[in-house]
Amino acid sequence: MEDCVFCKIVRGDIPAYKVYEDADFIAFLDIKPINKGHVLVISKEHYRWTWEVPEFGRYWEVVKKITTALITSLSAERVQYITLGEAVPHAHVHIVPRYKNDGLKPLPDWDKTKEFSADEMKNISDKIRKQI
């Protein structure tokens, strides 16, 4: 889809801090993270909803692979998966790492995002990528 921001990331029109990529899926850091290491996993082909992705099971295997890397590389205590799909009309799964005493409520507050410098984002993405 021409105007979709995630399709633009897939095409390379918009830069992203990638942590994973294969023939069908790509994962990158959210630019408005709820927590350190917040990753989005998307299908390379444009689908509106996660359940429309033909390789649904393999999609979640990729999510699991990223989760393991997040927990290992960033010492996350656990993760939350969020598949709202409201802000960007392209199938995506948010993987939000949770840390002990991270100050977040049980359900993340989308209005309270964190900021990291470009160097920090690169460092975070490098750490995750090295664990995959």
Q: Is 44:54 a contact under the CB 8 Å cutoff?
A: no
From the centroid of its chain, how far is CA 49? 15
HSE value, Cβ hemisphere, 13 Å, CA-based, for 8:
10
Q: Which are the catalytic amino acids?
A: 92
Q: Dig out the tokens for 56 from the structure.
A: 């649904």
